[in-house]
Structure 1
Amino acid sequence: MAATLLGASFVVFGALYLAPGNPAGFLLSGRSASPEALAAINAQYHLDDPFFVRYLHWLGDIVQGDFGRSITYRTEVSRLLADRLPTTLLLVVMALAVVVVIGLVLGWVAAVRGGGTDSAVLVGTTLAVGTPSFVAAVLLQGLFAVNLGWFPSSGSGDGLLDQVWHLTLPAIALALYLIGMLARVTRSAMVEALDSEHVTVARSRGVPEGQVIRRHVFRNSLGTVLTTGGLIVSTLLVCTILVETAFSIGGIGQLLELSTSTKDFPTVQAISLIIVALFMTVNLIVDLLLPLVDPRITLGSRSSSV
């Protein structure tokens, strides 16, 4: 993880310098400046240092918890992140809860009942998977916020309950595509498990059908579902940028979008590195949980080593 994060930090830092424009031009807002003023701006933000010197200086500050100073907001990046990150995390948690509950239920019902129910779930999930988050955001905002007035159309609210109310529509918009994906993965895994030999043996021994589904079908499908869950969390972190922008939510997604358009290098670099770190953390958690969900993974690795 340390090596991956180090490589990602270099890519994150270097990618911004390939884009046209520079922070000094934004600070000057198109105004002409004397060479002395331009030199002072470059010196303040280390823009006139060689690339590797800037990278090592930035990396040293990051290790010490210093993300630098925002060029756009003229304040510490760590303060911006502390103000906005909780809103984004709450949005991701709400969307994840919606995805897990509805996605697992739809996949379970489609696999167990089959027939017309299975076909209806497949059609619904196909529509969900084919609907991008920003399209879902516009549709939900127009119907439930503008026309019906059931939910706020923008903002993140004040206080936990008000925040949950404001973030309900964004969470649904963020979750819609992933609900379809998780439902289809759950259905496929459970259908495959239903045709396995140990399920046939359990049924032949008179084990109740509900117990067969819970212990022998769904449990054996959890490995595939959990692996997909890691991808779902990673996708949620990225798609928040589109949803937060559509609903004017003051999270790190909207902050990243604004900072990118204004060439706010320190803020973009800090948010990008945090997203990479969250990706790696989610993958680590999934790798640690997989042997607990499916002991065959651990047994298989031991057998191969022997």
Structure 2
Amino acid sequence: MRTVVRNVAEVVTTLVLASFLIFLAMYLAPGDKAALLAGGPENLTPQTLQAINEQYHFDDPMIVQYFYWLGNAVQGDFGRSYVYGQDVSSLLTSRFDVTVFLVLYTAVLVIAIGLVLGVVSALRRRKAADSAILTVTTFLGGIPPFVAAVALIAVFAVGLAWFPTTGAGDGIADRFYHLTLPAIALAVGSIAGMTRVTRQSMVSQSESPHVDVARTRGLPRAYIVRQHILRNSAAPIITMSGLIIAGTIAGTVLVEEAFGLSGIGKLLIDAIDQRDLPVTQAVLLLLVLAYIITTRIADVLQRVADPRLRGSES
């Protein structure tokens, strides 16, 4: 129970600190916010300025403005977009599904391919397959998602015309088709990390005493790999999966821009470019929340996979 309370307290504290830093950055951003809301300095009459200040509390101290914003944000109200004139919550909701689909698609690719390559590399250690996998994944691991996106567009979308260059598609099948290249662009660099962690964890477990005992008892190799090596390697693999998914959430910003996807990442880029501060604040806070939730879920799953971690809780 104490662990649950401590975890909740840590999450709330992190979110509050993150929200304050985000708000502070937007507060210190150059430019006249009242003029932006009025549609330009030429439209900022004394009456308009007074109405804007009363509605948005621009005349209040920064800390007072922050608590007004935080109180509304807790209720799901992030204000209205300076550019679109819509509720920010509605804008986020309309873009949310594209980003979630892309993140999940990428996570499946990374975990599935990384696990397979890591297992093969560990079982074929110091052989040609192991060397080839390590060489290829090391090369791919150094490619940033945006560079991978440009290369994939040039080859498979423009050159071979196998995939579309923009859009998220309609319907499940069409969405898979449209988001295949973006998902691969996000997955390329992360597959290397998943492969290496899987390989290292399995190699470490294969050299442990309980595996030696299983071998001396004459147990089938497949059984030993499945029950003694891979199963005991689950905790670090789960941790790495959580970190990769959390990093993928942030990586969607550049990839969505490259592929012209109407997701949360593209919305953030547009909001920063157009100085749409309420949207920028909301998206940044949402990304922080998604990162925290993802890493916490991975932490819980890691404790489920490794009973020794549960026993060490105080």
**TM-score when scaled to structure 2?**
0.91
CA offset digits 1:215-260 (Å, max 9, x no partner):
1111111111111111111101000001000000000000011101
CA offset digits 1:26-66 (Å, max 9, x no partner):
45666534542444444444333321121111111112221
Separation (CA, whole Å) in 1 of partners of 2:148 and 2:32: 34
Indicate yes or no: 2:297 matched with 1:285: yes
Separation (CA, whole Å) in 1 of partners of 2:74 and 2:189: 36
Q: 5 Å matches for 1:53-64?
A: 53-64=64-75
Shift in CA distance, 257/22, structure 1 to aligned 2, threshold 3 Å = farther
8 Å Cα contact 2:236-2:302 kept in structure 1:
no
Partner of residue 299, structure 1: 311
Indicate yes or no: 2:210 matched with 1:198: yes
Shift in CA distance, 280/126, structure 1 to aligned 2, threshold 3 Å = same
SS in 1 for 2:222: helix
Partner of residue 13, structure 1: 23
Partner of residue 139, structure 1: 151
8 Å Cα contact 2:27-2:62 kept in structure 1:
no
Separation (CA, whole Å) in 2 of partners of 1:24 and 1:136: 40
Q: Say which of 239, 248, 260 aligns to 2:251.
A: 239
Q: Say which of 145, 162, 165 aligns to 1:150.
A: 162
Partner of residue 52, structure 1: 63
CA offset digits 1:266-305 (Å, max 9, x no partner):
111111111111112112212221222111212344xxx6
CA offset digits 1:177-222 (Å, max 9, x no partner):
1111101111111111111111111101101111111111111111
Amino acid aligned to 1:233: I
Separation (CA, whole Å) in 2 of partners of 1:104 and 1:23: 49
Shift of 1:24: 3.8
8 Å Cα contact 2:34-2:44 kept in structure 1:
no
Q: Bigger shift: 53-62 or 12-21?
A: 12-21
CA offset digits 1:84-141 (Å, max 9, x no partner):
0011000001000000110000000000012111111111111111000000000001
Indicate yes or no: 2:36 matched with 1:3: no
Separation (CA, whole Å) in 2 of partners of 1:220 and 1:67: 44
Partner of residue 5, structure 2: none
Partner of residue 42, structure 2: 32
8 Å Cα contact 1:23-1:264 kept in structure 2:
no
Shift in CA distance, 28/285, structure 1 to aligned 2, threshold 3 Å = same
Shift in CA distance, 221/74, structure 1 to aligned 2, threshold 3 Å = same
- What count of residue pairs does the alignment treat as equivalent? 302
CA offset digits 1:9-40 (Å, max 9, x no partner):
11111122233334345456665345424444
Indicate yes or no: 2:192 matched with 1:180: yes
Q: Say which of 164, 169, 176 aligns to 2:181.
A: 169
Indicate yes or no: 2:248 matched with 1:227: no
Separation (CA, whole Å) in 2 of partners of 1:174 and 1:24: 38
Q: Say which of 263, 269, 282 aligns to 1:251.
A: 263
Shift in CA distance, 22/158, structure 1 to aligned 2, threshold 3 Å = farther
Shift in CA distance, 34/6, structure 1 to aligned 2, threshold 3 Å = closer
